[in-house]
Amino acid sequence: MEPLLRVEDLRLYFRTTKGIVQAVDGVSFELAPRTAMVVVGESGCGKSSLAKAILRLLPRNTHTYSGKIFLDGTDVMALNDEQFRREVRWKRISYVAQAAMNALNPVIKVGTQVAEPLFIHNNLTKSEAVNRVVEAFQLVGVPVDFVDRYPFELSGGMRQRVVIAMALITSPQLVILDEPTSALDVLTQANIMNSLKRIREELELTYILITHDISTSSELALDAMVMYAGQIVELGKAGHFFLEPLHPYSQKLMASVPTLREDKDLEFIPGQPPSLINPPTGCRFAPRCPKRFTTCEKEPPMVEYKDGRKIKCHLYV
Amino acid sequence: MRGLLAALKEITRYPSAMVGLFILAFILALAAYAVITIPYGEAIRLWRGGEATWRYNPRTAAPAWIDYLTPKKLLRTVILGPEDAQKEVKVLSERTRRLIFTYTLDYEADVFPSELAVVFKSQYEKKPPRVEVIWRTPDGREFSFGRQIPSGKVHWYTVSQDRDLIASLRGAPEEVLFQDPNAPEKTLKGIHTITIKAYVFEPEADLEAEVVVYGTVYGIAGTDHLRRDIWVALLWGAPIALAFGLGASFGITISSIVFAAIGAWFGGWVDAVVQRLTEIRMVIPTLPILIMVGLFYSKSIWVILAVLIGLNLIESTVKQYRAVFLQEKRTPYIEAARSYGARHLRIIFRYLIPRVIPWVIPSFVLAVPAYVFLEASLSVLGLGDPVLPTWGKLLSDAFSHGALYHGYYYWVLEPAFLLMLTGFGFTLIGYTLDKVFNPKLREI
Amino acid sequence: MQDQVLISVRNLHKWFELRKWGFIHVGFVRAVDGVDFDIRHGEAVTFVGESGCGKSTLARTILGLYQPTKGEILFQGKKLQKLGRWYRAQVGYIQQDPYGALPPFMNVRRILLEPMVINRRGTRTERERRIREVLEEVKLTPVEDFIGKFPHMLSGGQQQRVVIARSIVLNPKLLVADEPVSMLDASVRVEILQLLRGVQEAHQLGVAYITHDLSTVRYFSERIFVMYAAKLVEKAPVKELISNPLHPYTQALLDAIPDPDPENAHKFKEVPPGEPPSLLNPPPGCRFHPRCKHLIEGLCDQEVPPEFEVKPGHYVSCWLYK
- Closest-approach residue (CA) in chain C for A194: C268
B59 and B114 in contact (C-beta within 8 Å)? Answer: yes
**In the complex, which subunits touch B with 3 or more CB pairs below 8 angstroms?**
A, C
Determine whether the interchain pair B340/C95 forms a contact, defined as Cβ–Cβ distance below 8 Å.
no
- Closest-approach residue (CA) in chain B for C170: B340
User: For each successive 10 residues of chain A (317 residues), what is the average pLDDT?
Assistant: 90 89 92 93 89 91 92 90 89 88 88 86 82 91 90 88 91 92 85 92 93 90 94 94 93 89 84 85 90 90 90 91
Q: Which regions in chain B score pLDDT beneath 70?
A: 1-4, 50-51, 439-444
Is C301 contained in some domain? no
pLDDT value at residue B444: 38
Is C318 contained in some domain? no
**In the complex, which subunits touch A with 3 or more CB pairs below 8 angstroms?**
B, C
C7 and C73 in contact (C-beta within 8 Å)? Answer: yes
Is B354 contained in some domain? yes
pLDDT value at residue B440: 54
User: Residue C241's domain is classified under what CATH number?
Assistant: 3.40.50.300
Is C310 contained in some domain? no
- Closest-approach residue (CA) in chain B for A15: B444
Angle C196-C202-C203 (CA atoms, 0-180°, nearest 5)?
A: 95
Is B245 contained in some domain? yes
Amino acid at A45: C
| Closest-CA distance of chain B to residue C130, Å | 16
Mean predicted lDDT score pLDDT of chain C: 90
Amino acid at C73: I
Element holding A159 (H helix, E strand):
helix A156-168
Identify which of C185, C257, C261 has the shortest CB distance to residue A42: C185
* Range among B87-91, C78-82, C225-229, C263-267 rated most confident: C225-229
- Is the torsion defined by CA of A63, A68, A74, A78 positive or negative? positive
Residues B261 and B319 both lie in one domain: yes
Is C295 contained in some domain? no
Give the integer Cα–Cα distance in Å for C196 and C229: 28
Residues B30 and B99 both lie in one domain: no
Residues B108 and B210 both lie in one domain: yes
pLDDT value at residue B3: 61
Query: Does residue B444 belong to the interface with chain A, where contact is any CB pair within 8 Å?
Result: yes
Look at residues A214, A211, A151, A206 and name the one whose alpha carbon lies nearest to residue A180. Answer: A211
Residues on chain B touching A16 (C-beta within 8 angstroms): 444
Is C319 contained in some domain? no
Element holding B230 (H helix, E strand):
helix B230-266
Residues B231 and B379 both lie in one domain: yes
- Closest-approach residue (CA) in chain B for C62: B339
Residues on chain B touching A15 (C-beta within 8 angstroms): 444
Query: Does residue A124 belong to the interface with chain C, where contact is any CB pair within 8 Å?
Result: no
Residues B232 and B197 both lie in one domain: no
Residues B210 and B340 both lie in one domain: no
C83 and C69 in contact (C-beta within 8 Å)? Answer: no
| Closest-CA distance of chain A to residue C181, Å | 13
Residues on chain A touching C210 (C-beta within 8 angstroms): none
Determine whether the interchain pair A261/C242 forms a contact, defined as Cβ–Cβ distance below 8 Å.
yes
CA-CA-CA-CA dihedral for C79, C80, C85, C89, to nearest 10: 40
| Closest-CA distance of chain A to residue B19, Å | 22
Domain count, chain C: 1
pLDDT value at residue B36: 92
Is C26 contained in some domain? yes
Give the integer Cα–Cα distance in Å for A261 and C215: 8
Which of A14, A16, A17 has the highest number of chain B CBs within 10 A, making it the mutation to test binding with B? A17
Can you give the C-alpha Rg of chain A in angstroms? 20
The 3-state DSSP class for residue A284 equals: coil
| Closest-CA distance of chain A to residue C270, Å | 8
Residues B150 and B33 both lie in one domain: no
CA-CA-CA-CA dihedral for C141, C144, C148, C151, to nearest 10: -10
A266 and C219 in contact (C-beta within 8 Å)? Answer: yes
C162 and A232 in contact (C-beta within 8 Å)? Answer: no
Query: In sequence order, what are the beta bridge partners of C247?
Result: none
Residue range of the domain that includes C20: 5-260
pLDDT value at residue B2: 57
pLDDT value at residue B101: 93
Give the integer Cα–Cα distance in Å for A38 and A179: 10
What string of DSSP letters covers A71-87? ETTEEGGGS-HHHIIII
| Closest-CA distance of chain C to residue A256, Å | 6
Residues on chain B touching A61 (C-beta within 8 angstroms): 444
Q: Is the ipTM of this complex over 0.90?
A: no
**How many angstroms separate the Cα of B158 from the Cα of each of A3, A126, B82, B193, B212?**
107, 96, 18, 18, 9
Amino acid at C211: T
Is B387 contained in some domain? yes
- Residue after which a domain boundary falls, among B166, B188, B214: B214
Determine whether the interchain pair A214/C186 forms a contact, defined as Cβ–Cβ distance below 8 Å.
yes
CA-CA-CA-CA dihedral for C244, C245, C251, C256, to nearest 10: -70
Residue range of the domain that includes B420: 2-49+227-437
Is B96 contained in some domain? yes
Residues on chain C touching A181 (C-beta within 8 angstroms): none
Residues B127 and B162 both lie in one domain: yes
Across the range C287-300, mean pLDDT stands at 91
Give the CA count within 13 Å in the CB-facing half-sphere of C108: 30
User: Residue B180's domain is classified under what CATH number?
Assistant: 2.60.120
- Residue after which a domain boundary falls, among B214, B236, B269: B214
* Per-residue pLDDT tens digits for B71-93: 889 999 999 988 888 888 898 88
Amino acid at A150: Y
* Per-residue pLDDT tens digits for C23-62: 788 889 999 999 999 999 999 999 998 888 889 899 999 9
Is B24 contained in some domain? yes
Longest dimension (CA), chain C: 67
Are β-strands B115-123 and B183-187 bridged in parallel, bridged antiparallel, or unpaired? unpaired
The 3-state DSSP class for residue B296 equals: helix
Residues 349-368 of B with CB under 8 A from C: 350-351, 354-355, 357
Query: In sequence order, what are the beta bridge partners of B355?
Result: none
Query: Does residue B329 belong to the interface with chain C, where contact is any CB pair within 8 Å?
Result: no
Element holding B198 (H helix, E strand):
strand B190-200
Are β-strands B86-91 and B154-158 bridged in parallel, bridged antiparallel, or unpaired? unpaired
A6 and A69 in contact (C-beta within 8 Å)? Answer: yes
Give the CA count within 13 Å in the CB-facing half-sphere of A62: 14
Give the integer Cα–Cα distance in Å for C224 and C241: 7
User: Residue B387's domain is classified under what CATH number?
Assistant: 1.10.3720
Is B54 contained in some domain? no
Identify which of C64, C114, C150 has the shortest CB distance to residue B337: C114
Q: Is A280 exposed, middle or buried (0-12, 13-18, 19+ CB in 10 A)?
A: middle
Give the integer Cα–Cα distance in Å for C86 and A152: 40
Query: Does residue C89 belong to the interface with chain B, where contact is any CB pair within 8 Å?
Result: yes
Residues B196 and B282 both lie in one domain: no
Q: What letter would DSSP give residue A112?
A: H
Distance of alpha carbon A25 from the chain centroid: 16
Residues B76 and B113 both lie in one domain: yes
Is B27 contained in some domain? yes
A27 and A40 in contact (C-beta within 8 Å)? Answer: no
Determine whether the interchain pair C95/B336 forms a contact, defined as Cβ–Cβ distance below 8 Å.
yes
Query: Does residue B13 belong to the interface with chain C, where contact is any CB pair within 8 Å?
Result: no
C135 and C149 in contact (C-beta within 8 Å)? Answer: no
What string of DSSP letters covers A41-56? --TTSSHHHHHHHHHT
- Residue after which a domain boundary falls, among B214, B235, B253: B214
pLDDT value at residue B389: 87
Identify which of A155, A222, A256 has the shortest CB distance to residue C187: A256
Residues B195 and B263 both lie in one domain: no
A&C contacts, CB < 8 Å: 121
**In the complex, which subunits touch C with 3 or more CB pairs below 8 angstroms?**
A, B
Domain count, chain B: 2
C242 and C79 in contact (C-beta within 8 Å)? Answer: no
State the SS3 of B372-415: HHHHHHHHHHHHCCCCCCCHHHHHHHHHHCCHHHHCCHHHHHHH
Which of B328, B331, B340 has the highest number of chain C CBs within 10 A, making it the mutation to test binding with C? B340
Q: What letter would DSSP give residue B218?
A: -
